[in-house]
Amino acid sequence: MGAGIPDFAYSRPVKVALRLTVATGVFVLVASSAYAFFDVRGRARERRLAMEREAKAVAASLQVGLEHLPEASLRSPTPTLVDALNRSVTGWRVAVVPSERAALVGNDERAATSDRNRERQNRWMRSFLEVPKLAILDDDSERLYHAVSLHAPSPVRRLGDTGFEVVGMLEISRPLDGLRDAARGDLWRALALILLVTSTTTAAMGLLSRSVISRPINKLLRGVDDVAKGDLSHVILSERDDEVGAIATRFNEMTFSLRESRAETQRQNQAKLGLEQRLGHSEKLATIGQLAAEIAHEVGTPLGVIAGRARTTVKKAGDPVAVTKNAEIIAEQTARITKIIQRLLDFTRRKVGVPENVRINVNELVVLTLELLTGQIAAHKVKYQLAQADNLPRCVGDPDRLQQVLLNLVLNAVQAMPQGGALDVVTARVRRSRPGLEDAPPQDFVQLEVRDTGPGIAPDLRDKIFDPFFTTKETTGGTGLGLAVCVGIVKEHDGWIEVDDNPGGGAILRILLPAESATRTTGALPAMRG
């Protein structure tokens, strides 16, 4: 009857181990890339510095040798001298530039600038003439150049003069292709190293995190899923002495506590259910007592008729017609008594065990209940009317317990009119939402209303009349359990009871029960008027 527990659907999140592995891979990639960048850059700088040191050493050694040659060889170097110098050093190109080249100006200099090397050499030669101790280290996109001045004894000694003059320039150069090739090789080796380190570290981290994190968490998630489905017997083995092991231990403690709580709740529910059943049975017995008193009075009339007719039969034993007539009257009154007793027995018969829910025709249940209370209603001078809805849907529940609810409501209505009045019992099919769930889609309900023309129920008492042991009939022996039991029974059938004012005076107690979907009664019983 009640709303079922929904199944929990867990979305599959990105695994923690995968996130940790990816984060580790990215970190190692960035760190190794930064290290490789600075390493390749440092190696290139070291090679450049080594080449520059080598250039300075080669130039210094050649400078010493050339300055010991005759001055004429330096002022006018021969190709043979230059070839010998180039053969003496490996990997370097040697050039000797005479000082007269610096004097090329005008058209001659413009002609010399067509050759960029000659223009550079002429420029540097003029710099050496101005600063004799100068050493020049430079490069272009293709080669590295290093130049030093060549000195010879000066024939003219001036004040402050060192006694030497610049007679030429020594220039050595070397291609930069070797540096670029070495840098390219360093780059490829660095990329291979980055790939190897990153892949190895990521794979190792993935395996480690899967073993250390993913498997324990997956076990815990499976345990949580089992708990969400109601299985509290799942136990996780605590295989490690760390935070994951502590979580497993706490999970086991939690499931143990839940099992204990569930068992305690079941015990309390069983005790509550037993108490409710006993209270309901007690209220039923109280109602039976009231009915028994009325039925005893109701049975007294036909018993008096039977006694009188029996005496008449004895007196007129010789008259067959009179005996037959009296026997028929006695049989009719006996059947009446039997019917009255049978109604009471049908209501008092108590089933053993858990009630079985069946499909209930509410119209038929109302008719049977009113037949049981016919004498009670007539004794209070109450006129009743039954209005039944056509094609009323059936509802599912225990007919005996629902009859007890209807019996209590009708008796309360009758007792609220001690001087007589009108009682209306109305069945209907309504479509509405549950209280507190007005935004939910409406659904079909079977509605049963008991209306009376008594004094009604004060607004300040409407929230109290369903409380246990609250009664407004202290002087007439009310127990205060009738309406409380009724509310419990209706709630067990997934319904509720409402209290309202009767437009003609009095009160309306309205029962709403969920209708059985797609099931309708084949017809309605005719309206009955007492």
3-state DSSP assignment of residue 175:
strand
- For residue 5, what pLDDT is reported? 41
- For residue 316, what pLDDT is reported? 75
CA–CA dist 406, 446 (Å, integer): 14
- For residue 518, what pLDDT is reported? 40
- For residue 298, what pLDDT is reported? 56
Neighbours of 147 (CB within 10 A): 24
CA–CA distances in Å: residue 442 to residues 3, 240, 513: 15, 54, 13
Residue 196 structure tokens: 């190897």
CA–CA distances in Å: residue 245 to residues 135, 325, 409: 73, 95, 60
- For residue 372, what pLDDT is reported? 72
φ and ψ of 382, to 5 deg: -105, 130
CA–CA dist 398, 404 (Å, integer): 10
The domain in which residue 99 lies consists of 17-182
Q: For residue 84, how far is the Cα from the chain centroid?
A: 87
Q: Taking the chain, what is the end-to-end CA distance rounded to the nearest angstrom? A: 35
Length of the chain: 530
- For residue 76, what pLDDT is reported? 83
φ and ψ of 352, to 5 deg: -100, 135
Domain presence at residue 261: no
- For residue 197, what pLDDT is reported? 92
Q: For residue 528, how far is the Cα from the chain centroid?
A: 57
The residue from 166, 182, 198 where one domain ends is 182
For 44: left if phi > 0, alpha if psi spans -120 to 50, otherwise beta; the answer is alpha
Q: What string of pLDDT tens digits covers the 530 residues of the chain?
A: 444 444 444 444 457 778 888 888 899 999 999 999 999 999 999 999 999 999 999 999 998 888 888 887 788 888 888 888 888 888 899 988 888 877 654 444 444 434 678 888 888 888 888 888 888 999 888 889 999 988 887 665 554 455 678 888 899 999 988 888 999 999 999 999 999 999 999 999 888 888 777 777 777 777 777 777 777 776 776 666 677 777 777 777 788 888 888 888 888 888 877 777 776 666 666 666 656 655 665 565 567 667 766 777 777 777 887 778 778 778 876 876 776 676 566 555 545 445 567 888 999 888 888 877 777 787 788 888 888 888 889 998 888 788 878 888 888 888 888 888 888 899 999 988 888 787 788 888 999 989 888 887 777 776 667 666 556 654 454 544 567 778 888 888 888 888 888 887 888 888 999 988 744 443 444 443 33
The 3-state DSSP composition of the chain as helix, strand, coil percent (nearest 5) reads 55, 15, 30
Domain presence at residue 51: yes
CATH code of the domain covering residue 501: 3.30.565.10
Half-sphere exposure of residue 455: CA atoms within 13 angstroms, side-chain side = 9
How many domains is the chain built from?
Answer: 2
The residue from 130, 158, 182 where one domain ends is 182
φ and ψ of 335, to 5 deg: -65, -35
Q: Report the sign of the C-alpha dihedral through residues 204, 207, 208, 209, in that order.
A: positive
Degrees, nearest 5: CA angle 307-311-314: 140
Alpha helices, H only, 71-214:
71-75, 79-88, 106-112, 116-130, 177-209
Number of helical H runs and strand E runs in the chain:
13, 11
Choose among 201, 265, 255: nearest CA to 233.
Answer: 255
3-state DSSP assignment of residue 169:
strand
Going across the sheet that includes 496-501, the strands are 382-387, 421-432, 443-452, 507-514, 496-501
Choose among 527, 495, 530, 506: nearest CA to 426.
Answer: 527
386: β partners = 425
Choose among 519, 513, 495: nearest CA to 428.
Answer: 513
- For residue 187, what pLDDT is reported? 92
Cβ pair 295, 301 in contact under 8 A: no
The enclosing H or E element of 322 equals helix 320-348
Q: Where are the beta strands (DSSP E) in 376-494?
A: 382-387, 395-397, 421-432, 443-452
CATH code of the domain covering residue 63: 3.30.450
The residue from 142, 162, 182 where one domain ends is 182
Q: 198 burial class (0-12, 13-18, 19+ CB within 10 angstroms)?
A: buried
Residue 451 structure tokens: 């209306």
Half-sphere exposure of residue 9: CA atoms within 13 angstroms, side-chain side = 1
Domain presence at residue 352: no
- For residue 519, what pLDDT is reported? 40
- For residue 295, what pLDDT is reported? 62
Domain presence at residue 392: yes
- For residue 106, what pLDDT is reported? 42
Residue 23 structure tokens: 């984060």
Domain presence at residue 436: yes
Choose among 440, 434, 437: nearest CA to 514.
Answer: 434
The three-state DSSP-derived secondary structure of 342-400 is HHHHHHHCCCCCCCCCEEECHHHHHHHHHHHCHHHHHHCCEEEEEECCCCCECEEECHH
Using a cut of 0.75, tell me whether the model's pTM lies above it: no
The enclosing H or E element of 153 equals strand 143-153
Domain presence at residue 301: no
Domain presence at residue 469: yes
Neighbours of 97 (CB within 10 A): 23
Residue 40 structure tokens: 């390749």
Choose among 292, 219, 271, 277: nearest CA to 398.
Answer: 277
Domain presence at residue 330: no
- For residue 286, what pLDDT is reported? 63
Residue 274 structure tokens: 């037993």
